[in-house]
Amino acid sequence: MGNSNGTVWLPEGASTVASEIDWLFYFVTWTSLAIMLLVVGGLIYLAYTYRRRSADDAPQPIKESKLLEISWVVIPTILVLLVFTWGFQGYLKLTVAPPNAYEIQATAFSWGWSFDYPNGASSNNLHVPVDRPVKVNMSSEDVLHSLFIPAFRVKQDVLPDRYSSVWFEATREGEYHLFCSEYCGTQHAEMIATVHVHSQTDFNEWLADAAMDEDIPLPELGERLFGQQGCQQCHSIDGTSGIGPTMQGLYMNDRLLQSGETVTADENYLRQMIIEPTAQVVEGYPAGVMPSYARLSEREINALVAYIKELE
Amino acid sequence: MSSATATHDGGSASAAGSSEAPNYLNHQKTIRSWLLTLDHKRIGVLYAVTLATVFLIAGLLAIAVRLELFMPGETIMSNDAYNQTFTMHGIMMVFLFIVPSIPAILGNFVLPMQLGAKDVAFPRLNLASWYVYMIGGALVVTALLVGSVDTGWTFYTPYSSSGSMSVLYMTLAIFIAGFSSIFTGINFIVTIHKMRAPGLTWNRLPLFVWGLYATSIVMVLATPVIGITMILLFLERLLQIGIFDPALGGDPILFQHFFWFYSHPAVYIMILPAFGIISELMTAFSRQRIFGYKAIALSSVAIALLGFLVWGHHMFVSGQSAISGIVFSLITYLIGIPSGIKIFNWVATMYKGSVWLQTPMLYALSFLFLFTIGGLTGIMVGVLAVDVHLHDTYYVVGHFHYVMMGGTVIALLGGMHYWWPKITGKMYNETLGKIGAILIFIGFNATFFPQLILGARGMPRRYATYVEEFTFLHQVSTISSLVLAAGLFLVLGYMVHSLFWGEKATSNPWGAATLEWTMATSPPDPHNFTRTPIVTRGPYDFHLADEVFGPRHVGDGAGDGATSEPALPRETEST
Ligand SMILES: [Cu+2]
Ligand SMILES: [Cu+2]
């Protein structure tokens, strides 16, 4: 990923705001270093010059220097007011998106992301065009999350029942990390997606491709959704058990439920599990962990069912 | 340990120490006498033992966290176990250790003695605070046994209102432990106002007392807020009334406001007493009055009050309005300046002094180094635009460890070494002491500095695993944390050793000039002083402290801190 280079302290910036923020970061870092040297230098000098020579060292009364006191009040005050001003100017830039920004809708859930584009395309990684302001409108399906793209120097909490937004303009094509930075439980650390910055033409191509749901066969669409919607984070397709049961060989199998009954995993069972997972809970797995996917379209649910049926 | 007997009365006092005068440790010996004691010194010792245990457990949890992060992916525990581990580490360190630490241990022991008082104003309330604390601690253990808490020490809703029920025990525990803080705070405020020795004016109060005074104000005013917040969380969970949980119509941001309205001032509860200790150490080991006494004393109180107006700096990216962000950032800076000035004052205190690099002084100097880094990284995360990038990353983790551990814990260690002879009547091994201080200093920096870099490079906090590119810095941090731990265990080792085999301490081994050193034996009499001290000079007027340094400067203030009558230690010596 693009993040591995950059300076000692910061990953390489890839957005229009990055250079300004990096400059501010380094200004504070270097000034801090200067202050640090002053303090440590003074400390070592004084501790050495006035080191104790004998237990009988007589205490000496001293006069305090007003000039010294005033200067170490005034200079730091000026410095912090300076960085405060720069900091809030930068902050205003970060909070106000340009009016012509391209808008993407993001949904955060435990534990994954889903990004929806104006033309109906949907993806669990973020795809954006380069050199164009993008505004991401966000909301959460459950607890707090936070969208953090280190290379863009942006971060914004995502709340349930309320919209928040973040904007950026990518300046370099490439792939970057997108982290969840607000603690959200078991797989918080794995709630990572990738930001793909494309050239405008590549982006258009990707977008058209991603929106082609209508034309591709159901199982194939299902396979794509299984990844995009984060099912694979909890369900394997190779027989290993994860947070949820594996999907391999599930279709038409007998399932023991927590209620004690046994049902056959037919199409309706699969459909019900996707829309309302709490209605029937599989024995041996926790209830309430799997989120409901009732927000998917009819065709998408059909596609998922078709895909699971094929996993023998 | 002849190197420790700095003062003129030192040599002879140790000779006197061999005669078994009754002191607060040996005048009663039963367990019952400890558990029902009303003596502030014994309560201080009870707290010391309890808090050392909590620090040990929470510290081991920190090591577990570091080990898990040694490599990406699962190293020694699952995600869930990791989340519970860092949560317990945070809750125990913050609520059960750092918040009470200095006031409860050293404040209890030293405050009345520095005031020339027999005890605190309300000895029963003081003992009650320890029992209340123990109940809080027991509830934390219950929460652990009943289930698992994995919310982080911040309990952010709605995550905390949806998880396991043991969160309820935890919130109750914090609610109850809060009362222990409030009791201590009230007690200290009244004691400082009402129990000062004759002549001990506000201008002559030792700065440790000023620090405790400021802290007590915050304890009394802020702690009820966290109590109420925890109760609201509790009620929401139990009765399903919507306060913070959006599913019930509540507002999760409201919780963050409530939480930080306490937890930011709590930062000052933790750091102000540390400032006090550093003032004591810098003066005693420089044999020089403090530079800018009034500035340090009053700015502590100012910080305590202004500290209530900056909570929003924890929420720059939470979705609060840009205006609030800007206002909070500005006030945060204004409150940061007095802390910075204190650093300069402490450094300048050594000017024309006689700087004695004993272990407590080494801690004071490492405090100056570490706390400066903590403060400067604080300036960094206060820069709004930069904080957007750094918020909730390891930069913040590094920053607050520099402040809380590099600040408060280092000051506590310095204070423990400084007052150890007074508390126990024994000297620890000075050589091991210095080795320990240096190990801790190096281990600390090598553990937490890499975390600053990790965070700036984008590593989010509270991650059980991470992407490959962060591996190297995490490994440096983990290995160094073991050095830090080794240093701390060394301290524990020689401290315990000194209890049994340590040299007897003289009444004033450091040549300090405050009342607990000039007027009381080590360990002190059950009633602290055998005669009420009369004070005629400031706490750091070493040039007037003739009872310590001989009547070199004849004039006003001849005698102890200071009366024309001979001071207590000398009198005992001659008998
Ligand atoms: Cu998360
Ligand atoms: Cu704060």
Q: State the pLDDT confidence band at B29, using cuts at 50, 70 and 90.
A: confident
Chain B from 279 to 308: CB within 8 A of any A CB: 286-289, 291-292, 295
Q: Please give the average per-residue pLDDT across A156-179, as a whole number.
A: 93
- Pseudo-torsion of CA B531, B537, B538, B543, nearest 10°? -110
- Check CB contact of B383 with chain A, cutoff 8 Å: yes
Q: Do B462 and A177 touch (CB under 8 A)?
A: no
Instruction: Give residue B556's pLDDT.
Output: 39
For chain B, give every domain's residue range. 14-549
Whether the per-residue pLDDT at B62 is higher than 70: the answer is yes
Whether the per-residue pLDDT at A176 is higher than 70: the answer is yes
Q: Between residues A166 and A260, which one has the greater pLDDT?
A: A166
Q: Do A62 and B347 touch (CB under 8 A)?
A: no
How far apart are the CA of B287 and the nearest CA of chain A, in angstroms? 6
Q: Please give the average per-residue pLDDT across A19-41, as a whole number.
A: 95
CATH number of this structure's domain B14-549:
1.20.210.10
Whether the per-residue pLDDT at B11 is higher than 70: the answer is no
Instruction: Give residue A4's pLDDT.
Output: 53
β-bridge partners, A137 = A105, A165
Instruction: Give residue B374's pLDDT.
Output: 96
Point out the residue among B357, B380, B388 whose CB comes nearest to the CB of A91: B388
Whether the per-residue pLDDT at B4 is higher than 90: the answer is no
Of B42, B41, B183, B188, nearest to B109 (Cα)?
B41
Nearest CA in chain B to A29: B380
Q: State the pLDDT confidence band at A56, using cuts at 50, 70 and 90.
A: confident
pLDDT digits (tens, 9 = 90+) for B402-436: 999 999 999 999 999 999 999 999 999 999 999 99
Q: What is the pTM of this model?
A: 0.84
Percent of chain B having pLDDT more than 90?
A: 63
User: What does the alpha-carbon distance between residue B177 and residue B92 come to, in Å, rounded to a whole number?
Assistant: 11
DSSP-assigned letters across all residues of B106-153:
IIHHHHHHHHT-SS-S-HHHHHHHHHHHHHHHHHHHHHHHHS---STT
Q: Please give the average per-residue pLDDT across B558-564, as a whole number.
A: 38
Percent of chain B having pLDDT more than 70?
A: 92
User: What does the alpha-carbon distance between residue A160 and residue A139 come to, in Å, rounded to a whole number?
Assistant: 6
Alpha helices in B307-358 (DSSP H): 322-349
Instruction: Give residue B563's pLDDT.
Output: 39
pLDDT digits (tens, 9 = 90+) for A272-282: 888 888 888 88
Q: Do B458 and A157 touch (CB under 8 A)?
A: no
Q: Do B354 and A9 touch (CB under 8 A)?
A: no
Whether the per-residue pLDDT at B232 is higher than 80: the answer is yes
pLDDT digits (tens, 9 = 90+) for B334-356: 888 888 889 999 999 999 999 99
Which residues are near ligand 1, the ion (C-beta closer than 5 Å)? A 145, 180, 184, 188, 191
Q: Between residues B169 and B362, which one has the greater pLDDT?
A: B362
Q: State the pLDDT confidence band at B20, using cuts at 50, 70 and 90.
A: low
User: What does the alpha-carbon distance between residue A146 and residue A166 come to, in Å, rounded to a whole number?
Assistant: 10
- Check CB contact of B325 with chain A, cutoff 8 Å: yes
Average pLDDT, chain A: 88
Instruction: Give residue B550's pLDDT.
Output: 66
Q: Do A90 and B386 touch (CB under 8 A)?
A: yes
- Check CB contact of B379 with chain A, cutoff 8 Å: yes
Check residue A168 and report its DSSP letter: E
Phi, psi of B411 (to 5 degrees): -65, -40
Chain B from 407 to 446: CB within 8 A of any A CB: none
Alpha helices in B69-78 (DSSP H): none
User: What does the alpha-carbon distance between residue B76 and residue B96 come to, in Å, rounded to a whole number?
Assistant: 26
Q: State the pLDDT confidence band at A214, using cuts at 50, 70 and 90.
A: low
**Domains of chain A listed by start with CATH number:** 1-51+97-211 (2.60.40.420), 218-309 (1.10.760.10)
Q: Please give the average per-residue pLDDT across A130-155, as a whole number.
A: 94
pLDDT digits (tens, 9 = 90+) for B68-123: 999 998 899 999 999 999 999 999 999 999 999 999 999 999 999 999 999 999 99
ipTM: 0.88
Whether the per-residue pLDDT at B562 is higher than 80: the answer is no
